[in-house]
Amino acid sequence: MQQTIFTGATADQVASRSEELFRQGLFCAESVLQAVAESQNIKNDLIPRIATGFCSGIARTSSLCGAAGGAILAINMLCGRNDTSNTVEGNYQVIRDFLSRFEAEFGSTNCYQLVGCHLDTPEGQAFFKENNLWDKCLVFTREAGRLAMCTLQTASEKAASQVHSSE
């Protein structure tokens, strides 16, 4: 993993901001990516738009939870590789750690398993509304922001300790 310097934003602040953005109308993946970017003072016209297709279980396909997808994009933004001379291994480990944390918290990373309906059908969308599943998605969004930051901070601390121990 490339060494990333994090600003003073805490995981709780990112979680709160993810929730706030979701309440304001951004969808899950967009909210998480935007909150993490803001926490690191990253401003780019592509954020949150690059996350839109990850929302609603990847474009309502009942696949990866959009909040988890947004967190993966945020992690990539901060510790993905810049060119082919860098290895992917550190980034992949951070992503796997995040996914493990998310699954431990919620039992799955799959949108259908998390909300219990297919969002690409009128029946699924009605079920979503009737059962107020938006509230569940709000929790997934908030916690994905928190877990992304916790995972990144842990990886950064681990990388820093490895640098210091090799000196």
Phi first, then psi: give them for residue 166, nearest 5 degrees.
-90, -5
Which residues, 6 or more positions from 14, have their beta carbon under 8 angstroms from its beta carbon? 35, 36, 39, 145, 146, 148, 149
According to the model, what pLDDT value does residue 150 have?
96
Specify the pTM.
0.93
CA 148-151-152 angle, to 5 degrees, is: 85
Q: Quick check: 6 pLDDT over 70?
A: no
At 9, is the pLDDT very low, low, confident or very high (cuts 50, 70, 90)?
Answer: confident
Distance of CA 158 to the CA centre of its chain: 20
Average pLDDT value for residue range 19-27: 98
Q: What is the Cα–Cα distance from 33 to 26, expressed in whole angstroms?
A: 10
Q: Quick check: 3 pLDDT over 60?
A: no
Q: Quick check: 164 pLDDT over 70?
A: no
Instruction: Return the exposure string of 114-128: e unless at least 16 CB atoms fall within 10 Å of the residue's CB, then b.
Output: bbebbbeeeebbebb
Contact, 19 vs 70, CB < 8 A?
Answer: no
Encoding tokens for residue 103? 């699954």
According to the model, what pLDDT value does residue 165 have?
64
According to the model, what pLDDT value does residue 102 have?
98
Q: Quick check: 2 pLDDT over 60?
A: no
The CA dihedral of 133, 137, 143, 148, to the nearest 10 degrees, is 150
According to the model, what pLDDT value does residue 156 have?
87
User: In one letter, which amino acid is 166?
Assistant: S
- Name the residue with higher pLDDT: 21 or 163: 21
Distance of CA 144 to the CA centre of its chain: 5
According to the model, what pLDDT value does residue 39 have?
95
Q: What is the Cα–Cα distance from 105 to 30, expressed in whole angstroms?
A: 21
Q: Left (φ > 0), alpha (ψ -120 to 50) or beta: where does 71 sit?
A: alpha
